[in-house]
């Protein structure tokens, strides 16, 4: 097997691992809504963490065998794999709008990454790393605070997913700088950068877990999948000297690809908002119908139904209310609940007639 074919295979398996991890994360978010960030006691969550870690390792190995322009666009297939896998293994089918949004986001992202031309790898100095880390954590904190003040679950999830994608993207940038500067003579020099990578990866995992609460699978996953490489590409264009292929034409095509990807995310967001609106409307109609039914039942119910039975309702002397033959009492007017009286009256009438 050639190195290029091995890179493609590893990239595809990496995308499948990421998709499976996202499906499990969404399931955990549904099962444990009271623990949106770190459901540590949920075994499925640790399986999702392991799958995400496997996907990251396979992605890095794929980059070692193939070019960045090929491996990165294949990573966009995560959302395309996740939808049929969720329908097959979890029974959660996506609508036509979600499919269109996912495909648009994937195509736009693939086009954007395919047009990015990597320059010679270079590193960032200490000051650049410090500024980049401060900007990343500041942006994540701002998105997190804004998300907490938003009432719509889908919008909140998209903000959290955007923060998660940004964390993963900046972690990729620091990973690249560490790989360029790594030497066996002084590995401890990279300890601060390795610490930043670990913190960013953990923040991205926790934020992405919270993003799946109340928003389904497609919209948060597509947001993370798109924002992650876009942020890394933006840093590469500004700090690493990367540029788009084909000059002005490539720049125009890249902008068009970005618009397509953004349109896909908008479709996914509006589709989920429409689903939640329909569910809320059905829930409200059900509650209104239940309220009307309860009021009608209460109005039609006799007051004595709500009073607990007591001994005062029963006559103290059964013979005091027993009708006597010859007092003008019609046998047919005897209340049906007291059938024993009717039997006695009929017995007395027969005896008198004889």
Q: Nearest Cα to 112, choosing from 68, 82, 155?
A: 68
Alpha helices in the chain (DSSP H): 3-31, 43-65, 68-75, 78-89, 96-114, 126-148, 153-181, 191-211, 218-239, 247-300, 339-353
Q: Tens-digit pLDDT profile for the chain (354 aa)? A: 677 788 889 988 998 999 999 999 888 888 887 777 778 788 888 999 999 999 888 888 887 776 665 676 777 778 878 888 888 877 777 778 888 888 888 888 788 777 776 555 567 777 888 999 999 999 999 999 999 998 788 889 989 999 999 998 888 888 878 877 776 556 677 788 889 999 999 999 999 988 988 777 888 888 888 888 788 778 877 777 667 777 788 878 888 888 888 888 888 777 776 776 676 677 676 777 666 655 444 444 444 444 455 544 445 554 545 555 444 445 455 455 555 555 455 555 544 454
């Amino acid at each position: 097997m050639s190195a290029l074919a091995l890179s493609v295979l590893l990239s595809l398996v990496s995308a499948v691992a990421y998709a499976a991890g996202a499906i499990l994360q969404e399931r955990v978010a549904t099962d444990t809504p009271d623990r949106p960030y770190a459901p540590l006691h949920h075994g499925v969550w640790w399986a999702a963490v392991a799958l995400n870690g496997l996907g990251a390792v396979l992605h890095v190995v794929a980059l070692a065998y193939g070019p960045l322009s090929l491996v990165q666009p294949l990573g966009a297939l995560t959302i395309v794999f996740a939808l049929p896998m969720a329908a097959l293994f979890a029974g959660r089918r996506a609508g036509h709008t979600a499919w269109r949004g996912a495909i648009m986001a994937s195509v736009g992202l693939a086009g954007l990454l395919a047009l990015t031309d990597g320059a010679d790898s270079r590193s960032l100095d200490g000051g650049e790393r410090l500024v980049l880390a401060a900007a990343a954590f500041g942006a994540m904190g701002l998105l997190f605070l804004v998300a907490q003040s938003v009432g719509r679950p889908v919008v909140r999830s998209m903000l959290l997913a955007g923060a998660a994608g940004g964390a993963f993207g900046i972690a990729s940038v620091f990973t690249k700088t560490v790989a360029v500067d790594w030497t066996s003579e002084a590995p401890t020099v990279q300890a601060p950068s390795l610490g930043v990578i670990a913190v960013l990866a953990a923040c991205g995992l926790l934020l992405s877990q919270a993003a799946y609460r109340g928003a389904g699978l497609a919209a948060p996953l597509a947001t993370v999948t798109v924002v992650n490489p876009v942020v890394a590409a933006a840093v590469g264009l500004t700090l690493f000297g990367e540029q788009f292929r084909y000059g002005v034409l490539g720049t125009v095509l890249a902008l068009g690809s970005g618009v397509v990807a953004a349109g896909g995310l908008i479709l996914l967001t509006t589709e989920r908002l429409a689903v939640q609106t329909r569910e809320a409307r059905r829930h409200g109609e059900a509650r209104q119908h239940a309220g009307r039914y309860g009021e009608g039942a209460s109005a039609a119910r006799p007051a004595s139904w709500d009073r607990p039975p007591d001994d005062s309702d029963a006559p103290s002397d059964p013979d005091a209310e027993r009708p006597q033959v010859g007092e003008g009492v019609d046998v047919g007017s005897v209340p049906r609940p007291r059938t024993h009286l009717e039997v006695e009256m009929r017995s007395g009438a027969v005896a008198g007639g004889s």
